[in-house]
Amino acid sequence: MAKVHTTAVVIIPPKSIWGAIQDIRKKYDKQFHRWMPHITLLYPFRPESEFSNLEPYFSKKCKKIESFKIYFEKFKHFYHGKQKYTIWLDPNPENLIKSLQFALLEIVPDCNNVNLHKIGFIPHLSVGQVIGKDNLKRILKDLQNTWKPLKSKITSVYFIARERENLAQFKIKKEISLK
């Protein structure tokens, strides 16, 4: 089956907690206009033309998974080499997100690209990219010192898609409810 970089399956926190996240992303995230705040579960994913066919399988699987609360309390980072870093919010408990992602992979096992990183699948909500270790340390310290932890109830996963143009934004195409 084909996978495309114009679709994904994600967790999207409720808009009621976007404010603080978006303030940070606006300042540091070069993908601010392309992506909404999200935790990626499957990317790349199937073409949008397959969403309707996949929806019943995802709905059946998701109806067996309880809604759950996550907390965004701490910032972490990934190192990409050459002094390049991604800063992200660490959603806890991570194990519930990993279990959800694992269950969804049973439907589309080849959509496992986010699991292929050296350290495997790490649930995260990206808030920006920085260059330079000193810059990273300063920004992480500033963010953590001013951060007020957020709580979110996860009740759905979303199929999102964007047009092929370079600056096209991802939009929600399907919402699939958890139990």
Structure tokens at 114: 């986010």
Inside any domain, residue 78: yes
pLDDT digits (tens, 9 = 90+) for 107-153: 999 999 999 988 899 999 999 999 999 999 999 999 999 999 999 99
Long-range interactions of 162-171: CB distance < 8 A, separation 24+: 162/6, 162/7, 162/34, 163/6, 164/6, 167/33, 167/34, 168/6, 168/34, 169/33, 169/34, 169/35, 170/8, 170/34, 170/35, 170/36
Q: Is the dihedral of CA 17, 23, 26, 29 positive or negative?
A: negative
According to the model, what pLDDT value does residue 154 have?
A: 97
According to the model, what pLDDT value does residue 166 have?
A: 78
Go through 30-55 and write b for each residue having 16 or more CB atoms within 10 A of its CB, e for each that does not: eebeebbbbbbbbbbbbebebbeebe
According to the model, what pLDDT value does residue 24 have?
A: 98
Inside any domain, residue 115: yes
Inside any domain, residue 118: yes
Inside any domain, residue 43: yes
Q: Is 90 exceeded by the pLDDT of residue 165?
A: no
Inside any domain, residue 33: yes
At 124, which CATH number? Answer: 3.90.1140.10
pLDDT digits (tens, 9 = 90+) for 2-47: 999 999 999 999 999 999 999 999 999 999 999 999 999 999 999 9
Inside any domain, residue 1: no
Domain boundaries, position 66: 7-177
Q: Does residue 57 sit in helix, strand or coil?
A: helix
- Between CA 145 and CA 134 the distance in angstroms is 17
Which has the closest alpha carbon to 107: 163, 65, 76, 145?
A: 65
Contact 165, 33 (CB under 8 A): no
Neighbours of 94 (CB within 10 A): 15
Q: How many folded domains does the chain comprise? A: 1
According to the model, what pLDDT value does residue 99 have?
A: 97
Inside any domain, residue 2: no
Contact 88, 78 (CB under 8 A): yes
Please provide the distance, in angstroms rounded to a whole number, between the alpha carbons at the two ends of the chain: 28
